[in-house]
A and B are shown apart, each in its own frame.
Chain A
Amino acid sequence: MTGIAVGKRRHWLKNRGRSYSRAESALCAVLLVIVGALVLLPLGYLLYGALRDSPPRTPNAGYTWANLVEIYGSLHFAQPFLTTLAIGISVGIGSAILGVLLAWIITRLDIPRPGLWEKLLTLPIYFSPLMLALAFTALGAPRVGFLNLIWKTLGGDGSAVSVYSFSGIVFVLCVHYAPYAMLVLTAPMRSISAELEEAARVLGSSRWHLMRTVTIPMLRPAIFSVVLIVGTLAAENFAVPTLLGRQSKISTIPGEIYFWLTYEPSNPNLAAAAGTLLLLVTISGIFVYRYMTRMSGRFVTITGKPKLIPRLPLGKWRSAITGLLAFYLAITTILPIAALIFGSFMPYIGQHIDFNKLTLHNYQAALQGENYSAITHSLFLAVVSATLITLLGFLVSYIIRRTSVPGRGLLDYLSALPIAIPGMVLGVGMVWAYVIAPFGLWGSIWILLIAYMARFIVHAVRAINASLLQVSGEMDEAARVLGAGIFRRLRQITMPLTMRALLSSWVLVAIFVLNELSATILLYSSKSITLSVLTWNALDMYGAMQAFAFSVIQGCMTAILVWVSYRLSGKATW
C-alpha cells in the first residue's frame, strides 16, 4: 500500500507542467533506452577501443595511452588531419559562395521558370558522394576521362583536367553540397527582402549598394552556418577524398580509419583513436554551428506571410544569366551523369571512344549471384530502415513536442546527437561494440540496420518535428478529453495528421540508406554486402566500368524515390 502511495507521490511531484500520463512516461523511458543504446554504445566503445592495447577478443589485453599519443601527440598524423581540415574549410566556403549566387539568382532575378531551375539545381544532393566521384572520374580522370579523350582527339597534349587532386576533391564535394547551401539560403533570402529592402530603397539605395549594405549583412549568420555545417559534412566525407586522392597520396582521417580497419595489418585501436579525433572535429563544427544559429535568431526575420518580391528585371542579360545556369547544370549534373551512364556500357577503359564496343555486359554481371543479392540487401535495408526509423522518429518527436514528460529534453538531445557523429566514427565504434555480440548479430544484415537507425533517426525526428509544429496540439487534446489513451491518439489522430511528413521522412531515410557507405563499409560481411559497398569494391575487383554500372543502378533506385518525394510534396492536403 505504501509502495503504491510513494510511487503515486513521486509521479505526482514530477508532474509539474502540462499533465502527462503514466503511459507517456513509460513510452519516453523505452525510447530513451533505445535511442541511448543506439547512439551512446558506439561512442563509449570508440573510447574503449582507443584505450586498449590490442584488437578486440585478444586474450590478456590491457589498457594503454599509446594509441591516443600516436594520434594526438606525434606528427605522423598531422598530414591527414590538416588535409581533412583543409577540405572542410575549402568546401564550406566554396559551397557557400556557390549557394549565395544560386539562391540569389533563383529568388531575386527575373529568370524564366525559377521553380524548375530550383528543382534541377538541387539534383546533385540526391546523388551519393561516391556516385558523383565516379561520375567525375568518368569525365575527368587523367588520360582516360572523356574530357581528356576529347582533348587528345582535338590534338591537345597530356591531360586537360584531372579530378585526382586536392582541387578535384574540393570541386566534387562542392558540387554535392552547393545545392544544400542554396536550399538553406533561399528561405532567408526570400524573407528578409520584402520590407527591409523596400525600406532601404525608399531611402534611395541603389540595387548594388543595397545588396552590399543590407542583403549580405542580413544573410551573414545564415552564410556562416552554411560554411560550418557543410564544412563539417565535407570533412567527415569518406568516399570522395579516398577515391580521388588515392593516386596523389592524399589521405584524410576517414580514409586512414578505413585503411587501418580493412587492410592488413589492421589496427582497430589506432582506428578508434583516429575516430575520436574526427569526432572532435565534427563536434566542434556542430557546436559552433548551433551557437551561431541561436545567435542568428536575432537577425533572421522569417515572417508568417511570404511576400511576393518583385524580381530584378534583367533585360538583355536575361539569356546570359540563364545560359550561365545551364552551363552550371551541365558541368555539375548532366555531363558527369551522362559520362557515368555512357561509361557503364563500355567494356573497359580505352584510349578512344568506340561506339561499336558498347555492351550490356556490366549490367548482366550486376544482376548475377552475389551482386544480385547485394541489390536485394540494399532494397530490404532501405525499406525496413526507413519504416523503423520513421516510426521511431515519430514516437520520439511526439514525446518531445506534445508531452511534458521529464526526460524528453534528454531524448531530444540524444536523437540530435548523431548529426555530429561521422559515419566512419559510428562504424568504428560499432565494430568495437558489436564484434562480441551474441546471436550471430556481428556480420549479419541486422548490424547494418542498427547502424542506420543510429545514423539517420535525427532526420526523421526533424522532419516530423517540423510537421508537428504546424498541427495544433489541441487536436490531440480534444481526443484526450474524450477519453482516448496515448496509443489510440497516436494512431488515430497524430499519425494521420502528419502523414505527409511521415512519408517524406520515409523517402528521405530510404535515400540516405541506399547511399550510405562510410559506416557500411566497416560493418558489412559477405552475407550482408550492399550495393554501395559493391560499387566501392568493384573499383578494385572488376574495374571502373563495372562500378559505373552498379552506381547507375543505385542512381535509378534513388531517382524513383526522389520522383516519389516530389509527387508527395506537390500533393495538396486538407
Chain B
Amino acid sequence: MVNVPQVRLDNITKSFGATQIVRGVDIAIDRGEIIALLGPSGCGKTTLLRCIAGLEQPTGGEISIGPKKVFSSSEFINEPPEQRKIGLVFQSYALWPHMTVAQNVAYGLHLKKIRKSEAEAKVQKILSTVGLSGLSDRFPSTLSGGQQQRVAVARSLVVENDVILFDEPLSNLDLKLREEMRFELRQLINRLGLTAIFVTHDQSEAMVLADRICLMHGGKLLQTGTPRSVYDEPETRFAMNFLGAANFIDCSFVDDRTIRIPSGTILQIRGRKNQAPLVGIRPEKIRIEPEGSESPNALKGRITDSVFLGGTTLYRVEAEGLDLQVASPDPDHVKGSGIAVVLPPQFLLSLQEGA
C-alpha cells in the first residue's frame, strides 16, 4: 500500500489585500502524526490552520484531507468547512454558553443524525475519557478554564473525524495546568489514533506535544523535523533562538571546518553549511573546565555572574571578548574566578543569518 498522507498542503499562499500572510507552504502529514505549527505571533500559523479548516480561503495552492481534495486554486475547488469533516478546538474554546456541557458535546452528533440513545452514550463515554463525568448538566460558565478546555476537546473528538486541529489550545490555562494538559492531550490523541495539527507559539508546548515541529516565520515554513532535530540542528539564527537559549558568535571562516573568532583564536566546528559568518552553540553544550585546560576548542574565561536554577546553574562567562551563557549542572563555580570554557566542535553549528 502506498502511504498517502492524511493531510497534504501544496504551495499554500494567502494574502489579505497586498499583505502576504502565508507564502507558499508545503506540508505532508501522515496518518496518526501530531504536528505543531510553531512560530511567533503574526507568522501566519493561525491563518494556515484556518485555511485547512476551510474558514479562510487560501489565495493559491492545494489542500487534501485523506484522499479528497478540499481546496485547489487550479481546479476551483473549495469545500466549505461544514463539509470537511475535521475537528477544530479554538483558542477561546468557543463553547456555547446557552447549552449545557452535554448539549455542547452532542451538537455535532445531532448534525450527523445519530440516534438519541446512541448519541447520549457517546457523549458520556467521551466525557469520561476527558475526565468530566458528572459535569454534563453544568453550563460552561460554571466550569474552570481547564474543564472548559476539556469540553472543547470532547466536542471535537466525539464526532470521530480523523483529523483534529488545535488553535493555541492551552494558552488560556495557567502554567501548572498547561504542563499537565500537554501530556494528557498527547496521550489522548495517540490512544484514539488521530492526526492532529497544533498551532502554538510556545516552543516547550510544541516539543512535548508534537511528533514533528513545523517552524514558521514571516509566512514561510522555515524548518521541519522532530523536536530533537529542530532543537539540535537549527539552520538559522531565528530557529536556534526560538527553540531555546543560544550563544551566537560572529566569526570568519578559515576553511569549512575551521573558524576564527574576533580575538583571533581558531576554533573547529562541525561543518560549514552556508556563507554567513555566524556560528551558534546552546548554553548546556558548553563545558566549564579548570583554568589552563588543554582540551580542543577551549577558551580562557572568567565567570562574571551566576544564577542558580535548581537542576542547572546558569553562568555568564567572559571569554576572549565573547559574552557566553553556560548552563552547567555544577553550581560551585565562583563569580570572578578564572576558568576555561570548551566549545565542543560537534555542537558549534554554522547558521544562516536572520530567519
A positions within 8 Å CB-CB of B: 5, 8-9, 12-13, 15-19, 21, 472, 474-475, 477-485, 488, 492-493, 496-497, 574
Contact = CB atoms under 8 A, between A and B. Distances in A.
Nearest to B87: A481
Contacts of A574: 97-98, 139, 141
Interface string B100-119: 00000001100110000000
A480 B98 contact: no
In the A-B complex, the 7 residue pairs with the closest CB atoms: A482-B108, A474-B94, A478-B94, A574-B97, A12-B76, A481-B88, A496-B98
A493 B104 CA distance: 11
Given A8-B76, A482-B108, A475 B82 contact: no
B55 A480 contact: yes
Given A17-B16, A19-B55, A482-B111, A477 B94 contact: yes
Contact of B78 (A12, A475, A477, A485): A12
A474 B91 CA distance: 9
Q: Which one of B86, B94, B112 has the highest number of Cβ atoms from chain A below 10 Å of its Cβ?
A: B94
A478 B82 contact: no
A5 B156 CA distance: 34
Interface residues of B, number: 36
A12 B60 CA distance: 11
Interface string B162-186: 0000000000000000000000000
B149 to A, nearest CB: 14
A485 B90 CA distance: 19
15 contacts: A5-B76, A15-B78, A21-B82, A475-B96, A481-B81, A481-B86, A482-B82, A482-B155, A483-B83, A483-B85, A483-B108, A484-B82, A496-B98, A497-B97, A574-B141
Contacts, number: 91
A548 to B, nearest CB: 46
A17 B53 contact: no
A497 B80 contact: no
A496 B104 CA distance: 14
Contacts of A15: 57, 78
A343 to B, nearest CB: 48
Contacts of B139: 574
Given A15-B78, A18-B56, A480-B55, 15 more contacts: A12-B78, A13-B76, A17-B56, A477-B88, A478-B94, A479-B107, A480-B81, A481-B84, A482-B108, A482-B111, A482-B159, A483-B85, A496-B98, A497-B97, A574-B139
Contacts of B156: 481-482
B313 interface: no
Contacts of A18: 55-57
B54 interface: yes
A37 B75 CA distance: 37
B130 to A, nearest CB: 17
B92 interface: yes
Given A19-B80, A19-B81, A497-B97, A484 B111 contact: yes
Interface string B34-61: 0000000000000000000111110100
A477 B57 CA distance: 14
Interface of B: 16, 53-57, 59, 76-78, 80-88, 90-92, 94-98, 107-108, 111-112, 139, 141, 155-156, 159
Nearest to A13: B76
A478 B53 CA distance: 10
Nearest to B86: A481
A483 B94 contact: no
B90 A9 contact: no
Contacts of A13: 76
Nearest to A478: B94
B126 to A, nearest CB: 14
A483 B82 contact: yes
Contacts of B141: 574
Nearest to A481: B88
A9 B74 CA distance: 10
Contacts of A8: 76
Nearest to A474: B94
B100 to A, nearest CB: 12
Contacts of A472: 92, 94
Given A474-B90, A478-B88, A483-B108, A493 B78 contact: no
A481 B53 contact: yes
A483 B112 contact: yes
A478 B86 CA distance: 11
Contacts of A481: 53-55, 81-82, 84, 86-88, 156
Contacts of A483: 82-83, 85, 108, 111-112, 159
Contacts of B96: 475, 478-479, 493, 496-497
A17 B14 CA distance: 9
B276 to A, nearest CB: 38
A9 B94 contact: no
Contacts of A5: 76
Contacts of B94: 472, 474-475, 477-478
Nearest to A24: B80
B220 to A, nearest CB: 22
A16 B51 CA distance: 12
Contacts of B97: 497, 574
Given A480-B55, A496-B98, A19 B78 contact: yes
A483 B78 CA distance: 15
B199 to A, nearest CB: 14
Contacts of A478: 88, 90, 94-96, 155
A488 to B, nearest CB: 8
Contacts of A479: 96, 107
A5 B74 CA distance: 12
Given A474-B92, A479-B107, A482-B107, A19 B57 contact: yes
Contact of B55 (A16, A477, A496): A477
Nearest to B158: A482
Contacts of B84: 481
A479 to B, nearest CB: 7
A64 to B, nearest CB: 49
A119 to B, nearest CB: 28
A511 to B, nearest CB: 27
Contacts of A488: 111
A494 to B, nearest CB: 10
Contacts of B88: 477-478, 481
Contacts of B108: 482-483
Nearest to A23: B80
